[in-house]
Amino acid sequence: MRVTNQMMYADVLANLQAHGKKLARLQVEAGDGKKLHMPSDNFVAMGDALTLRGAIQSNQTYLNNISTAREFLSASASAMDGLATIIQSGLALVVRSASDTFGATERETYAKQVDNLVQEAVNVLNSTHREQYVFSGFKTTTQAYTAVEVQKAIGSAKYNGDAGLRKVEIERGQTISMNVLLSQELPDLKIAPARMLSTLVNLRDALRKGGAPDVNFQIGELQGDLDATVRVIGDVGGRLQRLTATQDRLEKVQIGLSNTLQTAEDRPMAQAVLALKEEETVYQAALATAGALNRNTLFDYLR
C-alpha cells in the first residue's frame, strides 16, 4: 500500500491530539491531585467513588443527628439535675420544719423559702437549649409551663406542650428520643417528675396552715418525686451513653470510608508530577517529529 504525505500528516495530527489530551488531563491531575474527574476516566472507579461518597454523606448525617441529640439531652439532664436539687432542698426544709415546736413565724419563714423553690422550679421546667424549650415535646417554640397564680402566689402550672417524642435516626434503622416528657408517669412508680411542683405548693400551704401532720405527709411525697426525677435522669444518662458509643463507632467508620475514597480518587503528587514530565517529553518528541516530517522548501519543488 502506498503511503502518501496526506496519510502521514493525518497520523501525526492524530498522535499530537491524543498526547495533547493526555497532557492536559495530567496537568489537571497534578494541579488538584485527583485522578477521577469524569466517568470516562474510569467507569468502575467512578462508580465506586460515588458509592463511597453516598456512604460518607449518610454517615455524616447520622453523626450530625447524634451531635444534636447529645446537646439536647445534655441540656435536659442539666435541667433535671436542677429539679432534683430543688426537691432535695424541699426535703431538707420539711424535715427541719416537721415539728410541733415550730411557731408561726418559723413556719412562715420556711413557707417563703419553699415558695422560692416553687418559682425556681417553674423556671427550670421552662429550660431552653438553642432557643428551644426542652420539655415541650414537639412544640419547642412554646413555653413548656405557665405559672397559675392564686392570691399572688403560684398555685399550679399549666402544661403548654404536647406528648411528642422527638426521635432522630442515629444509624440505619436505629432511632432515639432526644427529649424528655416530664408529664409522663413512670410505669413502675406511677409518678411523673412534673408532679414535684404541686408537692412543693402543698408543702408551702401546709407550712402556712401550721399542721404538722400535713407537713410530715409531704416528706413521702417529695421522696417519691425525687425517685421519679432520678429515674428519668438515669434514663437520659443511658441514652447519652448509647449516643457516645454510636458516635465513636461511626467516627471510626467515617475515617475508614474517607481513606478508601482518597485511595480511589487521589493521585499521589510525586506520581502525578512524574507522569506529567514523561508525557511532556513524549509530546515534545511528537512535535519534533511533526516538524521534521516535511522540510521541503520552494526551491525543492522548482528543481
Percent of the chain with pLDDT over 90: 47
From residue 157, give the alpha-carbon distance in Å to each of 58, 236, 255: 42, 24, 49
Would residue 40 count as lying in a domain? no
Burial of 69 (0-12, 13-18, 19+ CB in 10 A): buried
As for how many domains the chain has, the answer is: 1
* Beta carbons of 181 and 135 less than 8 angstroms apart: yes
| Measured distance CA(73)–CA(67) in Å, rounded | 10
Output the CA torsion 86→87→89→93 (10° steps): 140
Q: What is the pLDDT of residues 242-265, one digit of tens each?
A: 999 999 999 999 999 888 877 766
Strands 132-133 and 145-150: unpaired
Q: Are 167 and 177 in contact (CB under 8 A)?
A: yes
The more confident residue out of 18 and 218 is: 218
Residue 120 belongs to a domain: yes
Asked whether residue 28 is assigned to any structural domain, the reply reads no
Judge whether 236 lies within some domain: yes
Distance CA 117, CA 87 (A): 8
Whichever domain contains 110, its CATH number is 1.20.1330.10
Give residue 298's pLDDT band: very low, low, confident or very high (50, 70, 90).
very low
Residue 209 covered by a domain: yes
Give a yes or no: residue 286 inside a domain. no
In a domain? residue 38: no
Residue 8 has pLDDT above 90, yes or no: no
**What pTM did the predictor assign?**
0.74
* 20-56 confidence digits (pLDDT tens): 566 566 556 555 556 555 555 566 666 777 888 899 9
* Residue range of the domain that includes 66: 54-258
Tally Cβ neighbours within 10 Å of residue 74: 15
Residue 185 forms part of a structural domain: yes
The answer to whether the beta carbons of residues 216 and 97 sit under 8 Å apart is no
